[in-house]
Amino acid sequence: MLLVRRVKNALLKCFHCNPTVMSILIALIILWMIFGSEPEFLEVTDNFLPFSKMDLATGRDRPFHPNCVNTQNYLLNSSYTKQNASFVMLTRNEELKDVIKTIHSIEEHFNQWFHYPYVFLNDQPFEEHFKAKVLDAAMGAHVEFGTIDEISWNFPSNVKDSFEFHNAIENQGDRSVLYGSMESYHKMCRFYSGLFYKHPLVQKFEWYWRLEPDVEFFCDITYDPFWEMFQNDKKYGFTIMIPELYWTVPNLFRHTKSFIRQEGVKLRSLWKLFTKDYDIFESDDADLRNWINSGVDARAKVSEKIAIEQLLKKGAESRSINDDKEGIMNLIKRARSKKHIVEDKFFNEEYNLCHFWSNFEIAQLSVFDNDIYNSFFQYLEKSGGFWKERWGDAPVHSLGLSLTLDLDDVHYFRDIGYRHSTIRHCPRNAVGNEEVNYAASDSRFERNNIVYDEGRDYGCGCRCICPKSKREIEDSVGFCVNIWFNLMKQHRGQERQADVLNGNEMEKSIREDYLKQFENQFF
């Protein structure tokens, strides 16, 4: 952590300073340990501005409404049309308490005004007690309960009854792969990766909003996300994007690239969000193109090549090479160096592990239910990766969607505050968000003496109350958000993750400098 490093360095430098200063420094460490985040006044230092304090809106994607809207007026607007959409949750009877918690949260912050239906799915029939409690919590919204058939939920019989299957699951547990030893988790990931949208109850709808048991929403959503996505030609929406754990998907990208080559898939621009492009050095020299995978390596590698070339040239011309120490050292270095290998690079690309955290996603069903995505899922199914490894539906969704979607088809719901498990995102409130009064449509959601977070510059949340116990996910795991933002700042059709170097021009320049440096000595 930035604060801890700075305080540690300060303590080392201040070993003999007065007790008052030492007390202040120690207090800062205690503050960090208690609150899990850096104090407000220490966040902007060394020219580093946290993402949560930045305006991430671009001309290509921005919050649909960067403040609260008057929901009553919104609903009465003649241009507004409610969409054919539903919430979808996969759950079990024993998770009733957490299911009710989720329903209460989404109803209070959104659905009390918009009344979208729910679909609950289970691999076992729902109990009557479960249904009654859910119907009561849903406040009159239409609710349907469905059971998942055996084929959709279980792995094929020739797989699930095999020694290899059970050995793979146990092996993942022995290696401490997160959830790898849980057969039910593998089934859930497989179902959400390519089968949930085939369920008859889900097939009724054009849009879906995925929910999970034990979810919290921190801000009011005073507009209809389905309608706004339809109006703005958005097909998929996320609120959290983070990197995946490597050992859950060590071979997912290899199989994805194999599918792309086999089917001749023409990749869309969303692909750039999830891949690291190593093809950054344009040169007539194939060896240099293969060796140089990073801009910081370029000049050194080109210089090495030229130095060796000149050394060998002098030898061929029977001129003394003993004084050419630079050439000799580069030749020795080349002889000792191993072939540069990037283990997970396939055809000059590598999966950067970023993915949309799919336990929250709002999407058109058609982004999954199409020929390319269905074929992609079947290809992955045949590879056995859903049980040989612990492929999550989040990276599968992300890579699969990048086969058919462009960056502009995707929307970042930055204004939606959301928590599931230990990960959460909560935006800063927009300035003036308190000016649109909260109006409950049900007495269960009346609010008295509620103090919302203060509105801030570049805030986009509506009546948010963010937890203070942890840092914002944009700041603590901002690697993927940074890639998204940088891509969305670029012009459509010209997105690149890295600048491409003109290798031929660089080689020409370095060769001229090299020859000028030594021409008096050897010519």
- Cite the active site residues: 361
The DSSP bridge pattern shows strands 423-425 and 418-420 to be antiparallel
Angle at which helices 2-13 and 19-35 pack, to 10 degrees? Answer: 160
How far apart are the two ends of the chain, measured CA to CA in Å?
Answer: 56
Task: Mention every residue, 6+ apart, whose C-beta is less than 8 A from residue 247.
Answer: 175, 177
- In the numeric block, which tokens belong to residue 372? 């390319």
Q: What is the DSSP string of 144-186?
A: EEEE--HHHHSPPHHHHTSHHHHHHHHHHHHTT-TTTT-HHHH
Separation CA 265–CA 259 (nearest Å): 8
Separation CA 187–CA 176 (nearest Å): 18
Separation CA 57–CA 47 (nearest Å): 20
Place of tokens 């590698």: 301
Q: What is the DSSP string of 278-338?
A: ---EE-S-HHHHHH--SHHHHHHHHHHHHHHHHHHHHHHTT---TT-HHHHHHHHHHHHPP
Separation CA 428–CA 416 (nearest Å): 10
In angstroms, the Cα distances linking 274 to 150, 189, 325, 345 are 33, 19, 44, 13
The DSSP bridge pattern shows strands 118-122 and 236-238 to be unpaired
The DSSP bridge pattern shows strands 362-364 and 207-211 to be antiparallel
Selection from 355, 409, 360, 411 nearest residue 63 by Cα: 411
Burial 272-297 (b: 16+ CB within 10 A, else e): bbbbbbbebbebebeebbebbbeeee
Angle at which helices 295-316 and 503-522 pack, to 10 degrees? Answer: 40
Quote the longest CA-to-CA distance of the chain.
96
Separation CA 176–CA 496 (nearest Å): 36
Contact 302, 510 (CB under 8 A): yes
